[in-house]
Amino acid sequence: MMSRSATHSARCPMPEPCGELSSIVVELLSGDPCDQTPGPPVERVVPRSAGVDLLDDLDMQRAWFVLAELDGHGVCGVDDRWNEHPAVATLRRSMGDALAEAIRDRVGPVAGCSAAGLPDRVRAELDSLDAPSLAGHLAVDGTVEQYRDFLRHRSIYHLREADPHTTAIPRLTGRAKAGLVEIQSDEYGAGRVERMHSTLFAGTLRALGLSADYAAYAADLPAVTLAWSNALTLFASRRQWRAAVVGHLLALECTSSIPNKKYSQGLSRLGYGDGATRFFDEHVEADAVHEQIAMHDMAVPLLVEEPDLSVDLLIGFRAALMLDADVGRHLLRSWAV
């Protein structure tokens, strides 16, 4: 039997509704999926033209988070059969279309590029990124409570770090598939549960006195953080967005090593040891290698095989960077930094 230290509660707690849309979702999922009553009045409550403001809509972001978890870890007290229910499919379609539009508005116009031109394009995208120095602040001046706040926000992603990206594996072929599998193998600890990145992050949470139960803090998170997570689960939920999943992972691997080194340095400065820093230390080494694999063995081969997907890949790339920067700005403002 797996020890408590190696695992954590799997299902997502059902958050309280905070508006009409999340109320519809919670009420629907509290029922019996075998009940043949009509689905919710989706078209009346899903925003149709909110644009980027939808990313700041807590009602919308919380509702999508719950629906995405039905297809992931599951939701506490909810029958798993809801995941295939027509009413849920209707909600996902309308909400997903609205979220996709909001993400496109957030990232702005995106011009495609060739497979050969992708490395230079990525460098240009990174050079133009407007992102706050969250890692720099935590390394030098971050307090224990600021680290705890940071970890609470990150937990909805890192406790299932690899899972949404893994959905792209059966949707890719050839070298792109092999490159993604190579990266994901490391994310899952090469088959060793104690080395899985989600397990290492759970150790960091516990070292700082936080819960490692999945989505334990989701109900307290603002729309900006849920939107950062929801963009990836939206991409993962639709085959048509498979290149956006690849672009999202490429962005993470290109921007991971240096910030994670700073996160580790800050925890060491505060007196924390290996149990708290191991997750970040692992990413400093692994992601330096993953950056090359993600670019040359995954993203570039995908565009060689399917050049029409370059815009989708770059939307996923930008969304990962820009929504993460939005969360960083939110945290620094909340800390009055």
Distances (CA, A) of 47 to 52, 106, 240, 299: 11, 16, 22, 33
- Cβ atoms < 10 Å from Cβ of 307: 12
DSSP letter, residue 17: P
**Which tokens belong to 302?**
């995908």
Task: Identify the DSSP state of 75.
Answer: B
* CA 63 – CA 219 distance, rounded (Å): 11
Q: Structure pTM?
A: 0.93
Backbone angles phi, psi at 75, to 5 degrees: -120, 135
Q: Which residue has the tokens 């516990």?
A: 206
DSSP for 257-316 reads HHHHHHHHHHHHHTT--HHHHHHHHHHHHHHHHHHHIIIIIIIHHHHHH-GGGHHHHHHH
CATH 1.20.910.10 intervals, the chain = 113-334
Q: Tell me: domain 113-334, CATH 1.20.910.10, correct?
A: yes
Q: What digits encode the pLDDT tens for the residues 251-309?
A: 999 999 999 999 999 999 999 999 999 999 999 877 788 999 999 999 999 999 999 99
∠ CA(112), CA(286), CA(179), 5° rounding?
45
Per-residue pLDDT of the chain (337 residues; tens, 9 = 90+): 333 333 445 899 999 999 989 999 999 999 899 876 655 565 566 766 566 689 999 999 999 999 999 999 999 999 999 999 988 998 999 999 999 999 999 999 999 999 999 999 999 999 999 988 999 999 999 999 999 999 999 999 999 989 999 999 999 999 999 999 999 999 999 999 999 999 999 999 999 999 999 999 999 999 999 999 999 999 999 999 999 999 999 999 999 999 999 999 999 999 999 999 999 999 987 778 899 999 999 999 999 999 999 999 999 999 999 999 999 999 999 999 8
Q: Mind listing the pLDDT tens digit for each residue in 144-163?
A: 999 999 999 999 999 998 99
Q: Taking a C-beta distance cutoff of 8 angstroms, is the pair 220, 152 a contact?
A: yes
Distance CA 30, CA 172 (A): 36
Spatial contact of 69 and 215, defined as CB atoms under 8 Å apart? yes
